[in-house]
Amino acid sequence: MPGCIGSLLDGSGLTQGMARGSPICRTRSPAWRAGISLPNLLASSTLVLALLVLPARAATSEVPASAEAPASADAPASVDALVADDGSASGDPSAAAHGESNPETPAHRYGAIPGMPSPDELEAAGAVIGKVLLDNQNIFDLDEPKDNKELFRLANDLHIKTRPDVIRKQLLFKPGDRYNRHVIDESERILRADGYFYDAWIREVSYHDNQVDLRVTTKDVWTLNPGFNFSRSGGTNSIGVQLQDTNFLGSGADFKVFHTNTVDRNTTGIQASDQHTFGTWVSSALTLSNNSDGYLREASVQLPFYALDTRWATGAYGINDLQNDDLYDRGQIINKFQDQHQGAQAYFGWSSGVQNGWVRRWSTGFTYDEHAFAPVIWGGPSVVPQDRRFLYPFIQFDLIQDDYVRMWNHDQIGRTEDFYLGTSFSARAGYADAQWGSSSSALIFQSYASTGFGATGARRATTLLFWDFSGRVAGGALENGLMDGSVRYYNQQSKNWLFFTTVAATKGWRLDLDNQVTLGGDNGLRGYPLRYQDGTARALFTIEQRYFTDWYILRLFRVGGAVFFDAGRTWGRAPLAAPSLGLLTDAGFGLRFGNARSGLGNVIHVDLAFPFNGDPTIKRVQFLVQTEHSF
């Protein structure tokens, strides 16, 4: 849901918990391609390791031709249990009456039952919601012969399904409420955003006495991860081990004990987060870690604007973080220093809810953000940034248009994707005064805007535009100013083919030394080492031809492929960095594996990229293995 500025804590619902971004930014992330993360999970759970002994069997389910229908979505034919709104078991009033035998068809999820009035007709008649039936399906459908295997049955037995009350608490409606399809659609999106569901949909199943019975269908995935992580991008490896359950005992809470070894540091720690603490909309998160270069202590609790019609929100956040910051150029460290970061933030927000398809929100709060830097002895330069300390109240305004569409086979493989095509705008400003303890007096601001355009039909073209601008104004001059802009274009050519291209750019003004604008293999220029070019501005152009196969490996992974071309460059002379090498280009190809049964990573990337220029020291072939949130 739009309404979040950068990664600052607010009530938008986007930044609930630290897993979705640190509320107070340490540095500006250069990642433009959605979902880049280090370290990246490769499917290390014991479930996958056990199932790899089975022979591969290709999926035969048909991928719909229209972008309006799911592509080979794996919806079980049977219902494990239907639980009514009062918690009692209930039969499905629609399945038998209408003879539904193939829930993998688009009609099962979003088509109308014969004789059922349309949503507009139900709303015009003033219909109310009757029964709410919960259909929480297990990982494998044992009524499907291809899923009814010994190890699949064992996985179902070992898996603790999501508790019905966890699902029920996330619904924005209850029996007796006036029927409103927009509210039902938003409830679907909330459920689909949970990492422990493969998919979720809500359907009208019966209409009688001006009451509409609804069936809420969710599809669980495997969430226990006792295993090993490996990823490779930009010529570097990241490895780790962890014990994690992203749906602990079916509660929706995420608990993780981990050790990682990345290019930046070794980390041992624990994480816990729950987007619905104690069965409420309160989001809480805690991270405690000891690192090879310091430590991290981070906690947040907030009641966000969890839905478009939410009327108020509040939250608080704190961080105490010690680490060494490495600055890069040409894929090598050129500067290193210690950064002690302390911060806290509290806010309160209010809204009048949805009015004529638009939402307006106001928020106010207070931020404390301090960085104390020190030199590090490492055998190279240790140029230290100036210490910064800002304490300031802020006010924020958000404008959000309610406009979402469902897509399939765009950024995911065979999953329902909620694309935001509305217009949104957000602006936040605060004033830090040196007389109140700040290191200098400054106006600190952040803003962003986005919009989208889409064409309907079997061949759908979708364009997404994004812009943000942040920085501070001190003494009449802009400091640490950063402006980003991007255009993402999707053209669905057929049920299996999609053309994708994106252009993204960043411009910096008088950046703090610890805030780099880099370009390399870790953020879109796949044929080059990570953090290969450093400057004060950058641009990246990517073009991809994507192919979504009907192949369903071991009934675990859906398969896609891509051929791509990247071109990018930096401008400006950053401190200690070498001059820009100009335009850098690469091309390559790779496979994509959509994780259909696990919530431990959406799309596994295996790529070969070939750089066309750059300095003679880089490898002529880059091998990349990553797990990302998108294709």
Say what the pLDDT of residue 381 is.
84
CA distances from 599 to 139, 147, 196, 197 (A): 11, 18, 6, 7
Contacts of 489 (CB under 8 A, 6+ apart): 461, 462, 463, 464, 500, 501, 502
- Split at pLDDT 50, 70, 90, the class of 629 is confident
Say what the pLDDT of residue 348 is.
98
Q: pLDDT by residue (tens digit) across 61-119?
A: 333 333 333 333 333 333 334 655 544 444 443 333 333 333 343 444 555 678 899 99
Q: Do residues 137 and 144 touch, judged by C-beta distance below 8 A?
A: no
Say what the pLDDT of residue 454 is.
86
In the predicted structure, residue 25 carries a pLDDT above the cut 70: no
- Split at pLDDT 50, 70, 90, the class of 600 is confident
- How far is residue 532 CA from its own chain's centroid? 25
The conformation of residue 19, written as its DSSP 8-state character, comes to G
- Among 171-185, 198-212, 326-340, 457-471, name the one with the lowest average pLDDT: 457-471
CA distances from 250 to 136, 229, 253, 387, 539 (A): 11, 24, 8, 45, 44
Domains of the chain: 18-43+222-339+358-376+413-628 (2.40.160), 46-220 (no CATH)
Q: Do residues 43 and 79 touch, judged by C-beta distance below 8 A?
A: no
State the average pLDDT over residues 221-245: 81
In the predicted structure, residue 260 carries a pLDDT above the cut 60: yes
Say what the pLDDT of residue 40 is.
35
In the predicted structure, residue 45 carries a pLDDT above the cut 60: no
State the average pLDDT over residues 512-534: 93
The conformation of residue 119, written as its DSSP 8-state character, comes to H
- Split at pLDDT 50, 70, 90, the class of 270 is very high
Q: Do residues 375 and 337 touch, judged by C-beta distance below 8 A?
A: yes
State the average pLDDT over residues 541-554: 96
- Split at pLDDT 50, 70, 90, the class of 39 is very low
Q: Do residues 357 and 401 touch, judged by C-beta distance below 8 A?
A: yes
Please tell me which residue, 44 or 522, carries the higher pLDDT value: 522
- Split at pLDDT 50, 70, 90, the class of 158 is very high
Q: What predicted TM-score, i.e. pTM, was given to this entire model? A: 0.84
State the average pLDDT over residues 158-163: 96
Tokens representing 159?
Answer: 């898996």
As a whole number of angstroms, the distance between CA 292 and CA 268 comes to: 9
In the predicted structure, residue 238 carries a pLDDT above the cut 90: no
Say what the pLDDT of residue 104 is.
40
Q: Do residues 454 and 460 touch, judged by C-beta distance below 8 A?
A: yes
Say what the pLDDT of residue 516 is.
93
Looking at 234-356, which runs of residues are DSSP E strands? 236-245, 254-261, 266-274, 283-291, 294-303, 312-329, 332-355
Q: Do residues 530 and 519 touch, judged by C-beta distance below 8 A?
A: no
Percentage with pLDDT > 90 across the chain: 69
Tokens representing 412?
Answer: 């995911």
Tokens representing 521?
Answer: 């293999």
In the predicted structure, residue 358 carries a pLDDT above the cut 60: yes
Say what the pLDDT of residue 458 is.
53
Q: Do residues 129 and 211 touch, judged by C-beta distance below 8 A?
A: yes
Say what the pLDDT of residue 233 is.
67
- Among 357-361, 376-380, 534-538, 564-568, name the one with the lowest average pLDDT: 376-380
- Among 105-114, 205-214, 247-256, name the one with the lowest average pLDDT: 105-114
Q: pLDDT by residue (tens digit) across 422-454?
A: 999 999 999 999 999 999 999 999 999 999 998
Looking at 117-208, which runs of residues are DSSP E strands? 128-137, 197-208
Looking at 422-514, which runs of residues are DSSP E strands? 424-432, 442-454, 461-474, 477-492, 497-509
Q: Do residues 265 and 292 touch, judged by C-beta distance below 8 A?
A: yes
As a whole number of angstroms, the distance between CA 443 and CA 385 comes to: 20
The conformation of residue 124, written as its DSSP 8-state character, comes to H
**3-class SS shares of the chain: helix, strand, coil, % to 5:** 10, 50, 40
**What mean pLDDT, rounded, does the chain reach?**
83
Say what the pLDDT of residue 452 is.
95
State the average pLDDT over residues 351-370: 97
As a whole number of angstroms, the distance between CA 292 and CA 270 comes to: 15
Q: Do residues 445 and 471 touch, judged by C-beta distance below 8 A?
A: yes
Say what the pLDDT of residue 522 is.
87
The conformation of residue 277, written as its DSSP 8-state character, comes to G
- Among 103-112, 116-125, 392-401, name the one with the lowest average pLDDT: 103-112
Query: Could you write out the DSSP letters of every residue in 37-70?
Result: -SS-----SHHHHHHTTSPP----PPPPSSTTS-
Please tell me which residue, 101 or 460, carries the higher pLDDT value: 460
